[in-house]
Amino acid sequence: MDVVFVLYPGMTALDLVGPYEVLAPQPEVTARFAAATPDPVRCDAGLVLAPTTTFDEVDRADVLVVPGSGRWGEVLDADVVAPWLRRVHPTATWTTSVCSGSTLLASAGILDGRPATTHWAVRDELAALGAEVRTDRVVVDGSVITAAGVSAGIDMALTLVGLLWGDDRARFTQLLLEYDPRPPHRAGSPETAPPALVERGRHLMRRR
């Protein structure tokens, strides 16, 4: 199974690395990292990742994984990923996104009139791009799976493992990862965080 992880400048590393750690160990999976050029890609917090192939060299995939970015506006303006997604998405069995990666799917026309989720600070932007925004952590609609912010990429990938190989495989993968979140604070969503922190977060994301 050919799983293509999308790289681009300014992407958020965990959006990609979380799903990678879930999907890549599956014995059926061959993972590739595709970018516009063969040059290393610097993530929004500075981590550098190396592509293994380029968009020009990838004309099909079984699974696409599209990460988001803390600077999603700049990424949309660059318009590098969306044209390639328009071309490759029809060949994919599953097209997935994490966080604001959903705005790239929407920019490519993949989410027109479809339910999708994203990072809470990007919901209005996703709606403006034609998606029917949901607040769920993971949304499955046909062959498209979208995940909410950053850490939800692990949930998305475990959901996909269950769809591909069954719930027992997904449970076993979760066990091996010891994915049993127990955060020290109940502030992981705008519904549970103090209002002052939510506003501070919105301000920071708007500045980005």
Tens of pLDDT, residue by residue over 174-191, are 999 999 999 899 888 888
**Among the options 58, 61, 88, 99, which is catalytic?**
99
Residues of the chain with pLDDT under 70: 208
Give the per-residue pLDDT at 201.
Answer: 86
Give the per-residue pLDDT at 144.
Answer: 98
Q: Distance between CA 43 and CA 34 in Å, rounded?
A: 14
Is 186 a domain residue? no
Query: Residue 35's domain is classified under what CATH number?
Result: 3.40.50.880
Length of the chain: 208
Number of domains, the chain: 1
Is 202 a domain residue? no
Is 197 a domain residue? no
Is 109 a domain residue? yes
Domain coverage including residue 55: 2-181
pTM comes to 0.95
Q: What crossing angle do the helices spanning 152-165 and 13-23 adopt, rounded to 10°?
A: 30
Known catalytic residue: 43?
Answer: no
Residue type, 7: L
Tens of pLDDT, residue by residue over 57-79, are 999 999 999 999 988 888 888 89
- Name 48's bridge partners: 42
Q: Distance between CA 89 and CA 184 in Å, rounded?
A: 39
Strand 115-116 and strand 94-98: pairing? unpaired
Is 200 a domain residue? no
